[in-house]
Structure 1
Amino acid sequence: MKVYLNLKFHKLLILPILFVFSIVAFNNQTENIVTAKEATIPTEGFPSTPAPIWAIIWMNSGFSKPPKEVISATIDNTNYSNNIIPISNSFIKSSLTLPSASGNYTWYKKIDDGAWKVSDSGYVSALSVNSNRKFNTSLNLLDFKNLHSKKIITVKYQLAYILGVFSKDRYYSRIITVHILPTNVNAKSITIETDNDYLYNNKNNDLGTNVTYARATTDPEFATAQPEWSVSDESKATIDSNGEITAKPTGSSANDSNQISSFFVYAKIKNADGTIVTASKLMNVGEGLYDQKARAGERATFVLQGFDNSTRDSFKTDVKWYKKKGKNGKPSSPLPKQDDPFRYTTEPLTKDDDGDYYYATIKMTYGNNDTQSLTTNDALLTVNPALNPNVKLTNQVENVSSKSDQDTPLILNDIVNNDLIDYKFQLNNDGERDLNNTTLSTYLSLGTEIVGVNVDGTDLTDSQYSTTAHINNRNQLLQINIGSLKINDKRNIIVHTLTHDIDRNFAFAATPFFIGTDDDQNDYQSIGSKFKLNYLNNELIPHIKTINFEPIYPFDVNVDKYRLNSTNSPNEIITFEDHRKKKNPLKVYLNEPDNLIDTHNNSLAAIFKFKNDTSPYPQPIKDKVLVAQSAQDQTLQPIRWDKDKGLLLHVTKSNIIAGEYHTKLSWSIQDSV
């Protein structure tokens, strides 16, 4: 008999008779909006200047898209410190279109249908090439407290930036709209967009931006909670509260693999009702090139990242490609130019090309023959053996210990600890060449023990196969030395395994492969069929809620008290994760081993009783009482009780001391076979 025992604290509140009055104070503060000289700005605002376009460098100057163009909030909004909503936008300066210059900025503000007025203004010093400046202002929600009733107040902001002493170049941001709502609006979903998906982290190059901006769009648009930003790996990039993403330069941390990597941007919104919605977006960071893999006889293509087709011809560029034999090899002369200078495609590959590196240099010329340059990372070329369709690899898996009705030759289900799993392979050389030094390889789950390997009826020694564990990936690579495989040869291989260390439910999939070399030292590879194993932890895990009861008053005597709604049907008191492979009948028992006591160890004059549909009278649970059961092959179902059924609290005496009482209830689950 198996017994699952779970002790759970449950609480009960005893209240004295009190009358509680809520006293509400009203603030008679009047709305105070600073009046300023009316700005000469159209009713709908200035037409916004086109946003900067990025292609390794910023192609034109202008305001980036604001972190959030539409902001919704309520008075006393807990998402904003001191009820202050920060309003910001960044101006990005391009060296291609604008000389270094100082300038003046002005924030304009418009409330509902009123006129635009100057909200904030000032003078700024010159910007350096390819840099940006963030302009900030703010809105105090409490300024609108007395104007706010059941209507929506709309406040709009626009930023104007006038540069230069003589040229007077004018730039206008997009309009930022703030809706002040009477009640909170919950977000149902959230999506993330970014200006760029690829960031450069070159430490010593003129070109390549390392900054971009993330924005969140909610459904509905008027959701009042604001996103919290984060990234999956701060050694790759950081993100601030406004969604500005900055790549970490290569070598800026202990993780020098920054050169080519990815990370996720996360946005999380916590609604006023406590619900949470999240979103993520994959970002890439590097120095311009990705490593490439191809098979012998195929071509590989390297592509410069971060170039938009529509902007490549906007300035003069000179791109040169180079090749090196090995990481520290001597660079070749510039490779022959191809039609598209931003990508390079190799000739058909041989295994001699394996391990070569490619890189590119980019020089941009603009203005008065000013130039900027960038050198990419070294990108590795890996050449895998050519596929040989005449060498066939077939495979299947079998659970020797037990079988599931849903099992197939390539899919096994409900694998538990101590199951014996056989992996079966067959190799057929139907080609016209003998193969030497052949190896059969496959990945296995990390908790798989190799009991033995058999080839054509002969057991191999430990030296004829090997395993390499990959802890982080929870797998291990099994490699079996098959030896030679002559023309028309066949090999039958069986790998006997024992299953260990299953502590959770998970699925594992892998595809076996075979490699051999012919007499001319050409490598060939054959791929088997993908197999999948579904593992089961074979456990029953209960999740028990804390049970709270109605308050008891001093004059209560010989009365039943009921549970609060959170533990009444349709809500569950207990749910079960039933991952048992063999679902024998189970019985669930409940009893009260200890009395209800308060923090001073005073006992409560009350007992727990259990009432079901089959008995007219509640039954005390000092001795264990059957409260639920399951049948053969049935999953144990959640336990729900109507308000007047199940666990009740019977008060036996009056004049109870006020306080909070608690006890542990004992839940036990037993096999009934």
Structure 2
Amino acid sequence: MTTALFKFLLFLTIIIAPLAYQSTVQNTSADTTDLQTYEQVRPPFTPSPDPIKRGIFYTQGGFKKNYYTFKSLTINDDFTLNLQAVRPPLPAFLTYSWWISDNKTDWRPISNNKTGNLKINTSRKGIKYYQVKAVYKAFAGYTIHGPYYSKIIKVAINEKPIDTEDLSIETSSPYLLNIGNSVLDNAIYATSSRNPEEATDPIIWSTSDDTIAHINSNGEITPVSNEYSGDILIKALVKNSINKKTKIAQKEIRVGGGLDDINAKLGDNVTFKIQGLSDDKRDDADDVSINWFQKKSVHGNCIKLPHSNTTELTLNNLKSNLDGSMYYAVFSYTDEYHKKKTFQTNEAQLTISNSIIGIDNQIQNTSNKDDPLDTKTNLANVSKDDKLTYTLHLSNANKTNLKDQTLVIPLPLQVDITNLKINDDQHIEYKLQTESLKEKKLILDLAKFKDNEDLNIELNLNVGKISNNFEFKSTPVIYGTYLDSDNDNSYHNNGTTVSLHFITNMLFPTIHDITFSPIQTYVPNSLIYRLNDTNAPNNIIDFDDQRRSFNSVQIQVAQENPFHDEKKNLYLPATLQLHDPTNNTFTDISNNPTSVATSAKNQQLHYLNWSKDEGLLLRLKPGSIRPGKYETKLNWTFIEST
């Protein structure tokens, strides 16, 4: 493995106040369960990242996002916290462990509850904090998934009700799958936002059509049957206890079998996309496959199409013989008991009307061909110096006579045209017109090609400097007028929208201040701990990881000089040590780059943090000290391996 492909230096100033003075140390905030290699033994736990669902399976476990992190109640309200952990598909049984705290610092376990449901005691006014751990174990008893840690949940019990002034809701997805299959997580979730946040009256959830979908008291929306589809409203209602007013919010969702019917024109390109699986691309695992099928009519024979293992089916340059065809997708997978299972989407119909010129366009990142998130119309991770190839096929399906044909292709300002070819002609004149601070338009006069039935256009692009992540959408349009029209009517037709997601391809750490407790009594060889606001769940380093490939990163830290006051006249007999309580070891970091953590390959960095008795702690040395504020400099190094 090669190191130092990616390396840079950050500096950290630490201020320590001995005796009666307040002490502060600049720290980096980042608690990432990614970087932790051992189980956390007591709260406050660092919350696990949200679970990741790719297509039909969870590939990373965690807690579903539909649980409260703050709940305001009145005395004697009936309320139960409901949390649900999920994990990748393997045979396992699940157990939960709950903790409670009065101050988020001192925690005590809640006995006799191994489920994700916790009945809250609301008999007394006050604030309590809760956190839960979930572990999936094999039937033999050993852990195979987790532990997963919830966020800290704050529950406030009030003496009197607090009215809701404003209410709004959101749903985790605009589409709810109604396919009946045990492996599918068909639920989506509605969440509310209220002003004030401390409002106490309960939310009453409902739908506009209970024959299509249900919603429970936690905002979980589930389909009724695959026989019923359509657009419905999710409604939230609050009845205020004090002013007696009613507040209502609603959100529209679609319920269906994954595919929508499409109406298109002759020569168009269309894409059937399976909706409702997840926001992520499907995981291309060997045990999951997708096959597409076509039926020429409602009762026609099924034809297996060459498209496979994709949640989208694109049909280019539509011909009239496809009018009325039906399309659907079949999923095949192996369940946790190694049995072959299948399920399928609904059948969607294609209806074709007459058109003039069809545009079949696609784009490829030739510098990064293996990105699994890329498709013909979507580039997921485009970075500086990438070479892009944008191809367009124009076909005059009806051989209609047009004049004044012009092709317009929107492009981001960050790309330059390196070559343009139409059919075999590489000497093409074009115009570039700047539209805004984000976009320019490539304008091609196609008059010299008016007698061609088909045109093949190849556009080569080079990506310039990218200063921030952004998305750019490009929809090519061909304009013209009917040659044989008495009224000289204008005509235009859109191609497929191409999405380009630009990234800086860099790792940006943000290092936070570290604060140590004041030294009240000087005891040589004793440890001084950080203040609570520099311990987990607060972070030492926060990462904005915009890299395209998540190579392993080693984090190192070193203390550059001894602790000194602002004028460098007084020195503190102390040094920083990196403590590992799991192995009961510590390392002096004075002038000695010490490894803090190493991420795994293909692991995105989010944060780094430490519990109270781990990480950087201050060790006092024999000697004399005087009151004051002391500081040192930490050198942080991040080394990426390839």
TM bucket normalised to smaller? 0.3 to 0.5
Say which one has the larger Rg: 1
Q: What's the TM-score once normalised by structure 1's chain length?
A: 0.44
Q: What's the TM-score once normalised by structure 2's chain length?
A: 0.46
